[in-house]
Amino acid sequence: MSEILAFRDARDWKQFHTPKNLAAALSIEVGELQETLLWKTDEQITESLRQTEKFNRIRDEVADVLIYALLFAEATGVDPVTAIRSKLQGNAEKYPVETSKGSALKYSELPSTPKS
Amino acid sequence: MSEILAFRDARDWKQFHTPKNLAAALSIEVGELQETLLWKTDEQITESLRQTEKFNRIRDEVADVLIYALLFAEATGVDPVTAIRSKLQGNAEKYPVETSKGSALKYSELPSTPKS
Amino acid sequence: MSEILAFRDARDWKQFHTPKNLAAALSIEVGELQETLLWKTDEQITESLRQTEKFNRIRDEVADVLIYALLFAEATGVDPVTAIRSKLQGNAEKYPVETSKGSALKYSELPSTPKS
Amino acid sequence: MSEILAFRDARDWKQFHTPKNLAAALSIEVGELQETLLWKTDEQITESLRQTEKFNRIRDEVADVLIYALLFAEATGVDPVTAIRSKLQGNAEKYPVETSKGSALKYSELPSTPKS
């Protein structure tokens, strides 16, 4: 994280990094990540990941997504580790292992678990 | 990271976590993050961040973005830290401090730096 | 619409046009549209729209978004005009003129209107 | 189109409809559209489209995407029909039928066609 901020600050870019701009940047990068997979089957993607050039492109897009997500977190005062822990805890309640195991249903569609 | 994977594996969800599905999930979460800011001015966003309920919603969306970005990285064999370091290095070449300081131009629009 | 389909069919591309792929393509194009505006202030965007080259780039991205949205509609059997009419009607109920005029609040946050 | 603008103007919402806000709204709606398909196989999506409730949800999301794309076009002075025609023409040059038929390759990866 400190390296990302050092990069930003050396270029005096914090002035452009409003939450809205960073969220838009994040959205753009996710688009670019999706583009590396577009029109491909799952098998073709597995194959792409074995080719250095294509793998590196995907790796770079993942990096861009993470960089902007972390810059957004910094700009809004969110601590990434605390945020993830707190979200996983919330998800654990919404998706109990008993009812959600092996199921792709959204929590609102899951069978309710009896509370005894 | 290990907590995210433990959560996934306890629910046997790896079967749904193809790169394409995870990229789509990531895109959806970034949309939800953007929604927390929609129609608001920068000042209104700053104000929102001071209200616990609104801050927590933003924090949760940041967490979702990071969780899916990390799950995508895991599914494609990308090491997040190496990816970020390598990208920052590449960006440092594309955006030299001398020409990009205080500028929001894309690297392809930056004035070229003389190589001596 | 018929020109879009003729373009697709001349290239035998319907085989790639699953709803998921088209939704991903749409997401990518919206990312590219957002990129034309990134880091710019509203004033700078207004200025960009006056420059032919920049205007044309934005126009092209709008076209890409519309093309993929219409291809998605076609692939899922949605009639675009009926869909828009039906949605506007639904929105008219969620956003009555009396309570939503000049307000950017989401319908769930609007003051309720007395039914007499 | 005129119905969309009438809806907007009755609520005095043009003031919020800057290009950046509309592009963000569009991105959010595409996320919601992607969510209707998430974790589903192509077969499950085909099945969903046969169920009225699920079909209507997809139809509504398509409508939202089209509405915001058209509002964005209006806000930036882009004529949707001209934009689509001009883009299809450009694509026809980038993707000649001879080389791109049945291929999902990007134009930059297509075999070049001999110019005689």
pLDDT band at residue C1 using 50, 70 and 90 as cut-offs: confident
Nearest by CB: C63 against D42, D86, D102: D86
Q: What is this structure's pTM?
A: 0.94
pLDDT digits (tens, 9 = 90+) for A54-74: 999 999 999 999 999 999 999
pLDDT (mean) for A40-49: 96
Do residues D31 and A34 touch, judged by C-beta distance below 8 A? no
Interchain proximity D30–C33, CB inside 8 Å: no
* Chain D residues touching A39 at Cβ < 8 A: 104
Do residues D73 and C62 touch, judged by C-beta distance below 8 A? yes
Full set of structural domains in chain A with CATH: 2-101 (1.10.287.1080)
- Residue B54 burial by CB count (10 A; 0-12/13-18/19+): exposed, middle or buried? middle
Interchain proximity D28–B38, CB inside 8 Å: yes
Average model confidence (pLDDT) across chain B: 93
Per-residue exposure over C80-110, b if at least 16 CB sit within 10 Å of its own CB, e if not: beebbeebeeebeeebeeeebeebbeeeeee
* Chain B residues touching A17 at Cβ < 8 A: none
- Residues A47 and A87: their CA atoms lie apart, in Å, by 33
pLDDT band at residue A7 using 50, 70 and 90 as cut-offs: very high
Q: Which of D39, D41, D64 is best to mutate for the B interface (most B CBs within 10 A)?
A: D39
Interchain proximity B21–D32, CB inside 8 Å: no
pLDDT of residue A115: 47
* Chain B residues touching A72 at Cβ < 8 A: 33, 62
Q: Does B27 touch chain C (CB under 8 A)?
A: yes
Interchain proximity A20–D24, CB inside 8 Å: yes
DSSP state of A112: P
Percent with pLDDT over 70 in chain A: 97
pLDDT of residue B108: 87
Side chain identity at A67, as an amino acid letter? I
Do residues B56 and D43 touch, judged by C-beta distance below 8 A? no
DSSP state of C110: S
Joined tokens for residue A92: 């654990």
- Dihedral sign computed on CA atoms, order A49, A53, A56, A61: negative
pLDDT at B60 over 90: yes
ipTM above 0.85, yes or no: yes
pLDDT band at residue D2 using 50, 70 and 90 as cut-offs: confident
